[in-house]
Each structure stands twice: as C-alpha cells, then as structure tokens.
C-alpha cells in the first residue's frame, strides 16, 4: 500500500472528505480542519512519511472532535493520533516529525498562556 492509499483508506474509515485546495480557503499546504464539517483541507501530495504524518494529524482533529480543548491540547492529541496511526501501520515515525510536533505544541501552549496572562492583567 502506498502512503496515499493508506490516507485514502483512513478517510473512508472515518467518513472524512479531502479538499485539495479547491474551496478557495488559504493554508492547504500545511493542512487544516474546519470544525463544522468532516473535511481535511490539505493539498500536499501524500507521498512521504512526513506528509502522511501531517495528514494523520489532521484526521486526528476530525476524529477526536476536541474543539472545546485549549489549542495546545488539541495539537498534542492530534500528534499522538498521528503517531499511533504510524505504529498501527508499522511505519517508522520520522524523528523530524516528532521534534517539530513537540515544538509546535510548546509554541501553542506558550501563546495560549501568554494570552491568558494578558487577560488577567487587564
């Protein structure tokens, strides 16, 4: 199975659609999810472990439906989902993906904590 075939299988499994950038919204290269619809917005070709990891991350957001959590918690949960999918398929998780995921979660937490502190100061 190719990485794209795995991605398409997982979309069918969870009944998620895949927008490849035709909707007019920006940001498809990195990928995103709108909370009101089960659609992954992602225009990168799923041909490498890194793009598959990003794709699984976005699927995680839809499957976990965790929109009421703080953003850093949502991102940590999506990273965990992606890593679990890699293990399920027996694919080695790229170290770079793990490192970037941890950095992203930490940055989101810092940003959220700073926003909370700023509100307290007012």
Which pLDDT tens digit goes with each residue over 65-110?
Answer: 898 899 999 999 999 999 999 999 999 999 999 999 999 999 999 9
Both tokens of 108, joined, read 């989101």
Whole-model pTM over 0.85? yes
CB atoms within 10 A of CB 44: 17
Closest CA relative to residue 52, chosen from 19, 20, 16, 83: 83
Both tokens of 14, joined, read 């969870």
CB atoms within 10 A of CB 73: 15
Over the stretch 20-71, which tens digit does the pLDDT of each residue have?
A: 888 888 877 788 988 788 999 998 899 999 999 999 999 999 999 898 899 9
Domain residue ranges of the chain, discontinuous segments joined by + = 3-121
Closest CA relative to residue 113, chosen from 71, 79, 65, 68: 71
Residue 40 in contact with residue 65, Cβ under 8 Å? no
């Amino acid at each position: 199975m190719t990485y794209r075939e795995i991605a398409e299988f997982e979309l069918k499994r969870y009944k998620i659609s895949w927008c490849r950038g035709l909707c007019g919204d920006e940001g498809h290269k990195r990928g995103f999810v709108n909370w009101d619809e089960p659609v992954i917005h992602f225009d990168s070709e799923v041909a490498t472990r890194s793009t598959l990891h990003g794709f699984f991350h976005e699927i995680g957001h839809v499957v976990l439906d965790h929109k009421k959590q703080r953003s850093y918690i949502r991102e940590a949960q999506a990273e965990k989902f992606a890593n679990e999918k890699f293990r399920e398929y027996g694919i080695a998780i790229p170290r770079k993906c793990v490192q970037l995921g941890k950095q992203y979660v930490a940055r989101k937490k810092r940003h959220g904590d700073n926003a909370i502190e700023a509100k307290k100061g007012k």
